[in-house]
Each structure stands twice: as C-alpha cells, then as structure tokens.
Homo-oligomer: A and B are copies of this chain.
Amino acid sequence: MKKYTNIKDISNLQETIKEAILLKMNPFEFSDLGKHKTLVMLFFNASLRTRLSTEKAAKNLGMNVMILNVNDAWNLEFEDGTIMNANTSEHIKEAAQVISQYADVIAVRAFPSLTDKQKDESEFVMNSFVKHATVPIINMESATAHPLQALADAITITELTEKPKPKVVLSWAPHPKALPQAVANSFVEMMQNMDVDLTITHPEGYELSEAITKNTTINHNQEDALKDADFVYVKNWSNYKDYGKVLNQDENWMMTKSKLGKAKFMHCLPVRRNVVVEDAVLDSEQSVVMQQANNRTFSAQIVLKQILEDL
C-alpha cells in the first residue's frame, strides 16, 4: 500500500480484512517490522480513539511514534503563490517535505470547515500532504472521509455476520452540533465494496453527496428502512446540500430499542446518549460499539503493516 487516504487505496479488501482479524489474534506477530521506522501523527483536530488506537497499532508493529498537535505550533499556508504576510507562518510545501524527512509514514487528522463546501471537498489539507510529502500518508479523518473507521467497521461486520449477505442500514440521527459527513461517506463506500445489502435512511434533504451514494437505496421512511436489518449504523451528519447547517434535530430519528429490532447497533463514537441513541440500546448486548472501537487498532495496524511492507 502506497498511502491510505481513501478506502480505494485498499487493493484487496477481503484479504485485508482477513489479515486484520489474524493480527487481532496475534497483535505482536510483526513487532519487528517497524523497527527503526517512525510514524509521525499530525493533529489539526481533537482525537481520542483515533489517536490512541493508531499509536497502539504502530507500537504493536515496533514503530517509533512522534505526535504533534499542529495548532500548538503555528498556522500552515495551503494556497500557492500567497504573499505570506498575515497569519500563516509556514507553507505546507515546506512542512510536508520537512516532516517527511523525520518520518517513514505520516498520519494526518484534519476536519472540514463545514462552511466552505468546495474547499472541503477539495480535501486541500490531506491532498496537500499527499502532494508534498515524500512518504506515505494515512488519513486519520479528513474533510470528507474516515477510512480507518470504515475499515474497522468492515472488520466488525465480517466478524459478526451470520449470513452471506446481511442487510446493513445507515440511519441518520439528530445532533445539536454540525458534524462532518466523513464517517457516513466512508461507511457507505466501504459497504458498497462488501457483499451486503445497504440502505441509507435520513430525513428528506439530508442526502449525502451523490458522488458517494451513487445508486445505493435511500429511504426516507426510517421504520421501513430498518425492517429486517442485521446491522444498523447510526450517525449524525450536518446537511450536505445547505452545507454544514443543522436543519433538523427531530428526536424521532433517535435510535431506540424498539426500532432496532434484532439488529446489531453500530456507531463510531463518541456518541451522545439519549440524543443519537437511547441508553437501552447502548447498554444492551446488541451494541457492538466496543468491538468497533477495538477494531480501530487492527484497521490501523493492517494499514501500517501493508505500508511498511511496501516502503
């Protein structure tokens, strides 16, 4: 693997998922592979799970890890040709090349503005790193994608499914704050590459980008969409058409035990209890959110392993 900024970077998904499940059984099997190799993790935004699981994964492979909260340093410039006499102190051209000299792999987290749709969709932070860095880049959640989460979700569904082609439903949920579409986007793209029957349900007007959803079934009737589901992935995203707005906080879209039926409940976390999903779901045996979070280590570890093998 040459980089992992998008799930399309995985060449053989089924093989990768299987290998991740094997890693999980023996996490230290390749603890020499990363010897004298350094992962630099760059955070433009806060992180708990992604930070700890990715650091853990790298150390399981014997890598050194260096972490920088970029905002603790200074603002980076991403535009070409700018006269940098204002708030930015260093151009991404220099920053990415310099960090590449201290790193064998760079992992980046950079959320969208949710105010400038075109700029967010250009993935200017992640793509600038890909363009200017001279080492592989891993996406730890960017403006439009969260491929490490999606891979962990694919591992989780693979581990848990009891039938060949399970029904998977992505169900929008209310949330008081404007959240990115990144998790939903990558989950949809991942499911489109797996042998599942995918349905998306959300209020009218909350369509994700058509470039993502393509011909996936969209059903605005949540009850109908959830019928006979095997896995229900609940997630809020802010409006995509009226970009970044919170136009709907309808509590009726919260996931409940009765709506869930016999399905497994999935969420990427952090989750707001009794807003996105009621306690009864999270505290039940049907919730697999801990397994998803645990698999974050192994999605990062399999990606790092494949990158290290291709260095």
Contact = CB atoms under 8 A, between A and B. Distances in A.
Interface of A: 27-28, 31, 36, 38, 40, 46-49, 51-53, 55-56, 59-60, 64, 66, 68-70, 72-74, 77, 80-86, 88-91, 93-95, 97-99, 101-103, 176, 269-275, 279, 282-283, 289-290, 293-294, 297
A52 B84 contact: no
Contacts of A73: 46-48
Contact of A269 (B47, B51, B88, B90): B90
Contact of A101 (B95, B176, B293): B293
A97 to B, nearest CB: 5
Contacts of A46: 72-74
Contact of A98 (B59, B269, B275): B269
Nearest to A46: B73
Given A84-B274, A101-B294, 15 more contacts: A36-B60, A38-B56, A38-B59, A40-B52, A46-B72, A48-B73, A48-B98, A51-B68, A52-B68, A52-B102, A59-B64, A80-B279, A89-B270, A90-B269, A94-B282
Contacts of A176: 85-86
B97 A290 contact: yes
Contacts of A84: 272-275
Given A52-B40, A74-B46, A176-B85, A101 B270 contact: no
The secondary-structure label for the interface of chain A is mixed
A47 B27 CA distance: 32
5 interchain residue pairs of minimum CB distance: A90-B270, A84-B272, A83-B274, A101-B294, A98-B293
Contacts of A72: 46, 69
Contact of A94 (B27, B70, B83, B271): B271
A40 B46 CA distance: 17
A102 B272 contact: no
A110 B161 CA distance: 40
A102 B297 contact: yes
